[in-house]
Structure 1
Amino acid sequence: MRWSLELAQALVVLVLWVCCGSGTGCPCSDRALCSPVTVEHEFEVFVFDVGGTDWKYYDWSKVTTIAKVGSNNPELLCHAHAKKVRVVLKGYIPINIILNRGSRRTWIDNQVQLAKRQFMDGINLDLVEAIGVKSPKYDALTQLVVETVQLFHREIPGSQVTFNVPWSPDCIDGRCYDFLRIANSCDFLFVMSYDMQSQMWDDCFAKANAPYYQTLSGYSAYINLGIDSRKLVLGVPWYGYDYPCTQFFGVRCVLKKVPFRGAPCSFLAGHQVPYKEIIKYAHKSITGRSWDDEQKAPYYIYMVNNTFHEVWYDDPQSISMKSAIMKELRLGGIGTWNGNMLNYGDDPLAVMQTENMWNALCTF
């Protein structure tokens, strides 16, 4: 009798899966587009999307993965899958749950079920909280990543699980994670090679968001930990920082001291500006586009209300140089935060500038 009951329950589960599983509720006109993308690419071009309709104008000949930030967009999913491009969840890890095994498992279960409901191809994990090497959270974070990878790979075959890391493994902003074990467990690390002025210890001047040699040193440090270079995807910024100067000496912009995680000065003295806004006003500046050969980055200076401002950013020239690092160190790919920061209008100049930024990701 018990065997018959178990058999009946199994048959019910099977029927429910066939009738109500993959395909039912599919938002795409072709139900095949709701199946996970399993195509393997030679290298990753990983792009974050923060909403709206800009995705319609992305260079889909280059993109391999879209990390969707914010609400679900079925139209984006269907279009991406038609192009054999993965769409993954953006999973912000709540720091307060990682020490409790049950809470971790519940959170991971919820992410997997959300990915299934939205026909996603995986998840991009992100944590920006400081964790010390001797903290209990050090090992707990690694375990959360391991458990997430295991469950996603089992429940969604071919799915992709990635983890965002700072530009260097040297405890940037107090983020002392077990980078080697995390890299070994997940599909790859997305290295956020930007916001490098989050902590300024030596001086308080405006500087490049992602200086070239600092970028290069970060990848060398990850590889020196024993991480396979193919498990590192190089993240570049499609934005810059506008810094108001408290004093201005030639091209030296002295910043207001705004501390961050122990450092006396930080990028919080300025504010982020998307590339599409930066280039709109560069020609109206005092200097026009200038180039700093030491940091391998462009900048310009303008004045408003008797205050000098220095704007540091990345453009096709500086991004192309970073793209070459990917080839030189045999990294697993390149990506950007974020795809929405370019001008997708129909003005001929904007079209050219946007195309040049996309091309800079894959100069080789």
Structure 2
Amino acid sequence: MDNKWYFDIAPGAIDDLNEHAHDITTLIPFWYGVKSDGTLADMSSQEVKNIASQNNLPIFAIVHNYSDPKKSQLIHDLLSNASLRNTLIMNITTMAVYNNYPGINIDFEFVPPEDRNNLNAFMENLYSSLKNVRKIVTISLPAEIEDNPRHPFSGAFQYSILGQFTDQAYILAYDEHFSNPGPIASIGFVRSVLNYAVTAIPSRKIWLGMAVYGYDWAEGSNYPRTLSYSQAIETAKNLGATIIYDETAQESTYTYTIDSTKHTVWFEDARSFQAKLPLLVQYNLSGIAVWRLGQEDPNIWNIIRGS
């Protein structure tokens, strides 16, 4: 199974990479932040490059807009200015060639909906530039269940156009719930996302984005705390909470109360991971793209090796 893993430096991530580099098809590291002048903030790791090189593990470097707290304004300013767009494209192309990366991943988030046409133009020109130097072009796309140009988070992403200017589209079919407790990626939600995606993008270009983390919502809070699989298990164990596998969602959940505040946890594990894999065959997809290395249930590697 073609399994691509997103990578960011976090506790245990390097150890995990060392252990599983030979099990991974492609590494997608969170390395290059766009800057307001169209240049890139280089956050690459020589250690990670060395590990990848030793294991013949291809790197598709991520270009993202998380290098600035004003993520939305930054990406709007870059995309809406043709000159800055072209500068950014030139810098991405130069970076890909200089580092000998076989591919690049565009992972822009919080793109204002009104920049839809600008994003399309950027990807069309980037695709042309990177194809000229024989690079693989990939994009991470937020989950959509229909084309809604006004959607505050995903409105800028027009699958049908962006799909034409990418070799691989990673559909991030997770974060179904964020401001309220609920599954990270229930099987029904993932099906709904794929039902739409395959109508707009050729299925052979689609990799299913899969989560391997969990969220812990404290009652009254709008934002959950992110948990790795091991943190989710440890928290349940330490507080004597009973983990329930929700058969409808095909995901694990539990609740606990601490300091008189109720918490609800949903998290992905090997069982929920396994439950989604038949969708690859059902929708004729090319593989999976997993966020992110170091957060996963270790048993997932047995599933990957056995598939």
In the other structure, the counterpart of 1:224 is: 199
How many angstroms does 1:175 deviate by? 1.6
In the other structure, the counterpart of 1:349 is: none
Secondary structure of the 1:340 match is coil
- Percentage of identical aligned residues: 19
Aligned equivalents of 2:111, 2:55: Cα separation in 1: 38
Q: Is 1:282 the equivalent of 2:282?
A: no
Deviations 1:93-131 (A, max 9, x none): 533111222211101111122223333222110121244
CA contact (8 A) 1:244 1:309 kept: yes
- Letter in structure 2 aligned against 1:240: G
CA contact (8 A) 2:143 2:154 kept: no
Q: Give the alignment partner of residue 146 of structure 1, picking from 120, 124, 129.
A: 124
CA contact (8 A) 1:238 1:341 kept: yes
How many angstroms does 1:209 deviate by? 1.0
Which protein, 1 or 2, shows the higher relative CO under an 8 Å CA cutoff with sep ≥ 6?
Answer: 2
Q: Is 1:88 the equivalent of 2:60?
A: yes
Q: Is 1:178 the equivalent of 2:158?
A: yes
1:87-236 alignment, distance < 5 Å: 87-92=59-64, 94-132=75-113, 135=114, 137-155=115-133, 157=134, 159-170=135-146, 171=148, 173-176=152-155, 177-198=157-178, 206-225=181-200, 227-236=201-210
Secondary structure of the 2:131 match is helix
CA contact (8 A) 1:323 1:363 kept: no
Structure 1 regions of 5+ residues with no counterpart? 1-42, 247-255, 259-267, 343-352
CA contact (8 A) 1:58 1:339 kept: no
CA contact (8 A) 1:167 1:194 kept: yes
Alignment CA distance shift 1:228-1:363 (3 Å): farther
What value does the CA root-mean-square deviation take over the aligned residues?
2.2
1:1-364 alignment, distance < 5 Å: 44-51=2-9, 53-70=14-31, 71-92=43-64, 94-132=75-113, 135=114, 137-155=115-133, 157=134, 159-170=135-146, 171=148, 173-176=152-155, 177-198=157-178, 206-225=181-200, 227-246=201-220, 256=221, 258=222, 268=223, 270-342=224-296, 353-354=297-298, 356-361=299-304, 364=307
Structure 2 regions of 5+ residues with no counterpart? 32-42, 66-74
CA contact (8 A) 1:65 1:86 kept: yes
Aligned equivalents of 2:121, 2:236: Cα separation in 1: 47
Alignment CA distance shift 1:285-1:216 (3 Å): farther
Secondary structure of the 2:59 match is strand
**Structure with bigger gyration radius:** 1
CA contact (8 A) 1:334 1:361 kept: no
Q: Return the TM-score normalized by structure 2.
A: 0.83
Aligned equivalents of 2:171, 2:15: Cα separation in 1: 24
- Letter in structure 1 aligned against 2:87: T
Alignment CA distance shift 1:174-1:76 (3 Å): closer
- Letter in structure 1 aligned against 2:205: K
How many angstroms does 1:242 deviate by? 0.4
How many angstroms does 1:362 deviate by? 6.2
How many angstroms does 1:58 deviate by? 4.2
Aligned equivalents of 1:119, 1:321: Cα separation in 2: 36
Alignment CA distance shift 1:315-1:166 (3 Å): same
Number of aligned residue pairs: 280
Q: Return the TM-score normalized by structure 1.
A: 0.71
CA contact (8 A) 2:212 2:295 kept: yes
CA contact (8 A) 1:286 1:300 kept: no
Alignment CA distance shift 1:296-1:285 (3 Å): farther
